Chains A and B, each alone.
Chain A
Amino acid sequence: MKLSDYSKVQSALQVLLILAAFAAVWQFSVTLFDVPEYLLPSVTDLIREFRSDWTFYLQNALYTLETTALAFVVASIIGVALAIAVVSAKLVDNVIMTLLAAFHNVPKVALAPLFVIWLGTGQLPKVAIGAMIAVFTIVVDTVVGLKSADPEVINFARSKKAMPLTILTKVRLPGALPNLFGALKTATSFALIGAVVGEFVGGEQGLGYIIMTAQGSFDTTRAFVAIVLLGLCGTALYYCVDFLEGIFLPWHVAHRKT
């Protein structure tokens, strides 16, 4: 085993240990203070509930995960396109950034019910809400990345009579990748928030829907199982992006192997 593999295993063990300790404290406190299950279920209650109907939970988790992933992809494509438009022309910069800033400051949760009117109760409105919440951070960070290209490298490109499009694809975009990936990592959790909000306001599927119905019947355990699964979904997406970052940015300071 290589030294780096060894330290990876070690850090994974550390994470597991911390999680186990957290679960132990949770379990112990609930038992010690005799907290009723409808207020705060214990860890063993959660495991029992999950095992009683695990296909149901996994199906819904998968549905939410799919919605989130779709919202994330849509937000990424639109976000990067907008960012490129912003750095391409001063006028577009002013227009898009002003609109985006204004729009971003409207709590989009407040718009969620409207999306049900516009797009129904299927998956589409949830994808739309998730994408809408996630897109802002992608645009803002990518613009910063595109704008911070080394002016001297741009000068060098100009001395080679490079086309503006070539400068964009070969100088600005590769240089903006670290910022883009930073934004994508935050965007995964925004997309998840959007998906859950969408499931709250309308629909018959997903972890958000489970939480809403569980609340209606005071089934706290059920809601908690869904919440834990949401946490797992978010973490999984985050590490997917992290993994991709390692592949696309082997040259970045954070991933250098030397």
Chain B
Amino acid sequence: MIDLISVSKSYETRRGPILTLSDISLKIAPGEFVSILGPSGCGKSTLLKCIAGIEPISSGKILMKGVPVKEPPDFMGFVFQRDLLVDWRTVLANVTFGVELAGRGRKRYTQKAIELLRRFGLNDYIHRYPWEMSGGMRQRAAICRALVDDPDLLLMDEPFGALDALTRDDLNLELQRIWSADRKTVLFVTHSIPESVFLSDRVVVMDRNPGRVAAVIDIDLPRPRRLARRDDSRFVHFATSLRTVLEDCGVTRKDEP
């Protein structure tokens, strides 16, 4: 589905070029759920934007279904850290905003949008405005917006980072349910270890200065996973090994007294 071949990205500053992504190679299979885990400033969001075709890379190659990425692919949905719903549109019109911006007209997608909003429990808010909803509901609507044209690929840039812990758990469950039903390829950027273990087939751990892949860990847990299982020894084992990788990178301090 996605093939990254030694991708690097640097940009010019007054004090010379700064390398943000260094020699990143990665293969993502169709239907796979991959998380990118890393500290702030490791370039994980930049990497996602490069894959989305909204940021250029300096060297290397990004192949999407075998074709080099030059512009945003049509079959892609992007969920940003902030919901980016616009105040002047109703929730329904926000969900169809993306396809309208793409020039594909909203009419064809209205039915699908309503279905999605129902599926995400926003039935009562279809004709309301975003500012009448809570943060969690807004982010659900944003996910509906990304899913409305049924993309093959879903890119998510810390989508639950700004939510409280309970809402976050809730949306993690929801996302797993959706993913299990549709089996879209998902690339999920996060800085939460439990979140990445709970959701992913594979976790790519990134280190910073320059942004690079520190480790790739397969999360070999049965699905559907349950939130209560996060105390389970196998779950803890994966969380611990991810933490160890981050410690070795010097990102988090060693957990010693």
Whether A166 lies near B88 (C-beta < 8 A) is no
Shortest beta-carbon distance, B109 to chain A, in Å? Answer: 13
A contact patch SS? helix
A7 in contact (CB, < 8 A): no
Beyond A160-B102, A162-B101, whether A152 also contacts B80 by CB under 8 A is yes
Is A158 among interface residues, defined by CB-CB distance under 8 A? yes
Name the distance in Å between B150's Cβ and chain A's nearest Cβ.
15
Taking a contact as CB atoms under 8 Å apart, the answer to whether A171 and B86 are in contact is yes
Q: Are A251 and B88 neighbours in the complex by a CB distance under 8 Å?
A: yes
Q: Which residues of B lie under 8 Å from residue A166 when comparing CB positions?
A: 101, 103
Q: Are B86 and A163 in touch, CB under 8 angstroms? A: no
Q: How many residues of chain B get a CB closer than 8 Å to chain A's CBs?
A: 26
> Restricting to B45-97, which residues have a CB under 8 Å from any CB of A?
49, 52-54, 71-72, 74, 76, 78, 80, 82, 84, 86-89, 97
In chain B, positions 105-151 with a C-beta closer than 8 Å to chain A are 129, 131-132
Q: Are A161 and B129 in contact (CB under 8 A)?
A: no
With a CB–CB cut-off of 8 A, which chain A residues contact B54? 155, 158-159
> By DSSP majority rule, is chain B's interface helix, strand, loop, or mixed?
loop
Count contacts on A: residues with CB < 8 A to the other chain. Answer: 24
Residue numbers in A under 8 Å from B99 (CB-CB): 160
Q: Is the CB of B76 within 8 A of A159?
A: yes
B87 close to A153 (CB less than 8 A): no
User: Which residues does chain B contribute within 8 Å of A177, judged by CB atoms?
Assistant: 88
What is the distance, in angstroms, from A152's C-beta to the closest C-beta of chain B? 6
Interface residue ranges of A207-258 to B (CB < 8 Å): 249, 251-252, 256, 258
Cα A200 to Cα B87 in complex, Å, equals 45
A55 to chain B, nearest CB (A): 45
State the B residues within 8 Å of A (CB).
Answer: 49, 52-54, 71-72, 74, 76, 78, 80, 82, 84, 86-89, 97-103, 129, 131-132
